[in-house]
Amino acid sequence: MSQMTLAAEFTFISGERKFLGYAARITFRMILRSLDRTEDIVSGLVDSGADEIRSIEFQTSDLKEIRARARRLAIAAAQEKAQIYANAAGVSIGHVLHIQDVNPQVLQGRGEGHVQREPVVDNDSDKQTLDPGAIEDGATLLLLSG
């Protein structure tokens, strides 16, 4: 998908609008199945004159399996945390009464465990700057036991 726009650019000097010229913007989306080429593609875009790259988004075709694993790990982590609280309070935890699955994308950037991280940057000169392994997903849940 691509889109091109041409818009007049203005500035205000001493309260008066002054025409600066036109700004062209070309937007496109692409699917790159060979993620190890990401850095080469981005470098090529910049070398070709792109002066702004708004975002690069990594997604996976294995999202269902990744989320299932994240949910299993979230349950284990919630149970471990509940046990720590119960031990500190001198009580025991019971059976799970309720599990509420919360979309982790809704909570990104809100508190511990939900911080959106930057891509992993490699300092090894043999490796590329962007690490396709930096794709992350998670599971967030509310676990009630009694």
From first to last of its 146 residues, what are the pLDDT tens digits of the chain?
778 899 999 999 998 999 999 988 888 888 888 888 888 988 998 898 888 887 887 777 788 888 888 889 888 988 899 899 899 999 988 888 888 877 666 655 544 444 444 443 344 444 444 555 555 555 566 666 66
* 53 in a structural domain: no
* 111 in a structural domain: yes
Distance of alpha carbon 113 from the chain centroid: 13
| 90, 123: one domain | yes
| 138, 98: one domain | yes
| 84, 130: one domain | yes
Domain of residue 98: give its range. Answer: 63-145
Beta strands 2-13 and 16-28 are antiparallel
| 141, 73: one domain | yes
How far is residue 84's CA from residue 113's CA, in Å, rounded to a whole number? 17
* 52 in a structural domain: no
* 68 in a structural domain: yes
How far is residue 128's CA from residue 132's CA, in Å, rounded to a whole number? 9
* 78 in a structural domain: yes
Those residues with Cβ within 8 angstroms of residue 95's Cβ, 6 or more apart along the chain or in another chain: 145, 146
* 84 in a structural domain: yes
| 89, 39: one domain | no
